[in-house]
Structure 1
Amino acid sequence: MFEVTFEVLLLLMLAGFAAGFIDAVAGGGGLITVPVLLIAGANPVTALATNKIQGLFGAATAALSYARGGHVDFRTQWGSALIAFFASIAGALLVSVLPVDLIRYALPVLLIGIAVFFATKKGLNDVDRARRMSPAVFAVTLVPLCAAYDGLLGPGAGSFYMLAFVGLAGYGVLKATAHTKLLNFASNAGALCAFAVVATPWWFTGLAMGLAQIAGAQVGAGLAQKKGAKIIKPLLVLTTITLAAKLIWDMT
């Protein structure tokens, strides 16, 4: 039934657990799962598509955990989530039109910039600050921009959502993390809809990895809610720097 052997499936599920943990805290779980899927024999498009399947479970679990903890109200986010869903589909469909290679070259610079921002910006904690953009403007500008990128390429999308919530919506670090998860779920779902048409995901393997993602996301979201910015900031900096380094390595 599974597209891989039992031993490989166990490795992929372990990767799914680790990715769920990291995604729930800071984002960047695809840094683990996509390379492992490639090692398991998936071609690049299949790996990206399968990654979207398993990522749905982790994002949904983390979103529910943060909602139960009182850090986000889904009723205020459903409109943004809907925008993220359709923007992600548009991004995936534009892969043959937009200068993807140019975006890949710029991406490491952007990720390093995000890491430097969170590592050096004074006063970044779990306390909300002054909002620089209204929720309506945020929903129709930053949300579709991040979601379209998630559908187009994907790596670092969670970091871009985080930067937008902290820098422009004025959210504290923990609240920003909580609000990122539903949007991540929506943009993952949109990208998967597009990939299901143009690719052949490993459905059963992705579902098995998704179960492991649920466990990892529960642990990660619980830890993030206990420690807040103290754990989220350093892990976010670490994942963005690591992702930037991997992208640079892939270019050489």
Structure 2
Amino acid sequence: MLEFGLEGLLILLAAGFFAGFVDAIAGGGGLITLPALMIAGVPPVAALATNKIQGMFGSGTAAYSYARSGLVNLREQLLPAGLAFVASLAGALLVSVLPTDWIRLILPVLLIGIALFFAFRKDPGDMDKTARLSPLAFTWTAVPFVGGYDGLLGPGAGSFYMIAFVALGGYGILKATAHTKLLNFASNVGGLAGFVLVAEPLWAIGLAMGVMQMFGAALGAKMAMAKGAKLIRPLLVVTSMVLALKLLWDVL
């Protein structure tokens, strides 16, 4: 059984809070928490499973905050949320038949890619634009694709949901972020359900980080609705690059 010293525990709790804050605004909270868990010595599959526990709290809190503010119609999102759950469940079950070392190799590349995307992308603004896919086509293509990825690996899934809503669904950035949180919550729950069957999550650590995620997500959603997502982009870029370099150093 893994044991964490006080310093390691405080770092993981801080990562949970910051990830909840970042994820509620721009997505990508898993880019912080999963590498933090792996740097703390948690094996890759157990880290993925534990990440789902704490991520569920953050995305659920943010989804509730956005829905309460009228930015998401929960009834209209039942089908997409259900598909995200099922796809993520399937992705999590697939992890059990794949070698785990590939996670350590892919994650730094993913972190760098996401960091570059946020560093150089142009914010689409808060106004809706013309959708490239109909709502039905979007629901049956983009949603299960990202949901499956969320169960299989996870980090950046919130960012991928948001990118899909903006680029394919024509949503403004605030509306996209609000809808992302509901789907992210559904895929976190689905992924956790799958991992419970094939892995051993660290429940105490996951729940403790989840509580911190709730505080961070509540603050992040409040700031996103007040100021938009520009505030968080530099922090997300720097954090992703630092974590990627640390993981690459460990691998090499």
For the criterion TM > 0.5, the same-fold answer is: yes
Give the superposition deviation at 1:206.
1.2
Q: Distance in 2 between matches of 1:212 and 1:109?
A: 27
Partner of 1:212: 212
Alignment partner of 1:222 is 2:222: yes
Q: Which runs of 5+ in 2 are unaligned?
A: none
Tell me, yes or no, if the aligned pair for 1:135 and 1:169 is still in contact at 8 Å: yes
Are residues 81 and 100 of structure 1, via their aligned partners in 2, closer, same or farther at CA, if it must alter by over 3 Å?
farther
Amino acid across the alignment from 1:214: M
Structure 1 residue matching 2:230: 3-state secondary structure: helix
Q: CA deviation at 1:42?
A: 2.2
Identity %: 64
Shift of 1:173: 0.6
What does the per-residue CA deviation read over 1:60-87, in whole Å, with 9 as the maximum and x for residues that have no partner?
Answer: 0000111122211111111100000000
Give the alignment of 1:29-40 within 5 angstroms. 29-40=29-40
- Distance change in 2, residues 1:25/1:154 (3 Å): same
Q: Greater CA deviation, 93-102 or 166-175?
A: 93-102
How big is the shift at 1:36? 2.7
Residue in structure 2 matched with residue 163 of structure 1 by the alignment = 163
Contact 1:8/1:40 (CA < 8 Å) preserved in 2? yes
Greater shift after overlay, 105-114 or 217-226? 105-114
Could you say if the C-alpha distance between residues 148 and 230 of structure 1 is closer, same or farther in structure 2, counting changes exceeding 3 Å?
Answer: same
The yes-or-no answer on 1:13 pairing with 2:18 is no
In structure 2, distance between residues paired with 1:123 and 1:41: 36
Note if contact 1:125-1:229 (Cα within 8 Å) is conserved in structure 2.
no
Whole-angstrom CA distance in 1 between matches of 2:163 and 2:198? 31
Please give the alpha-carbon distance, in whole angstroms, between the structure 2 residues aligned to 1:197 and 1:43: 17
Cα 1:245–1:224, aligned 2, differ >3 Å: closer, same or farther? farther
2:51 aligns to what?
51
Q: Name the residue aligned to 1:175.
A: 175
Q: CA deviation at 1:209?
A: 1.4
Q: Give the match for residue 127 of structure 2.
A: 127
Q: Relative to 1, partners in 2 of residues 1:3 and 1:106: Cα closer, same or farther, differing over 3 Å?
A: closer
Q: Which moved more, 1:235-244 or 1:30-39?
A: 235-244
What is the aligned-residue RMSD (CA, Å)?
3.1
3-state secondary structure, aligned to 1:169: coil
Secondary structure class of the residue paired with 1:130:
coil
Within 5 Å, which residues of 2 pair with 1:51-130?
51-95=51-95, 124-130=124-130
Inter-partner Cα distance in structure 2 for 1:250 and 1:137: 42
Where does residue 28 of structure 1 map in the other structure? 28
Q: TM-score, normalised by structure 1?
A: 0.84
SS at match of 2:169: coil
Greater CA drift, 99-108 or 48-57: 99-108
* Aligned amino acid, residue 151 of structure 1: G
Quick one: which amino acid aligns to residue 94 of structure 2?
A: L
CA 1:7–1:121 in 2, change beyond 3 Å: closer, same or farther? closer
Q: How far is the alpha carbon of 1:237 from its aligned partner?
A: 5.6
Q: Note if 1:194 corresponds to 2:231.
A: no
CA contact (8 A) 2:25 2:228 kept: no
Q: Which runs of 5+ in 1 are unaligned?
A: none
TM-score (norm. length: structure 2) = 0.84
SS of aligned partner of 1:17: helix
SS class of match (1:231): coil
Deviation per CA, 1:107-143: give whole Å up to 9, x if none: 8777767666666566710000011111111111000
Deviation at 1:224, TM superposition (A): 0.6
Q: Give the counterpart letter for 1:80 in structure 2.
A: P
Shift in CA distance, 249/225, structure 1 to aligned 2, threshold 3 Å: farther
Report the count of equivalent residues.
251
Give the SS at the match of 2:27.
coil
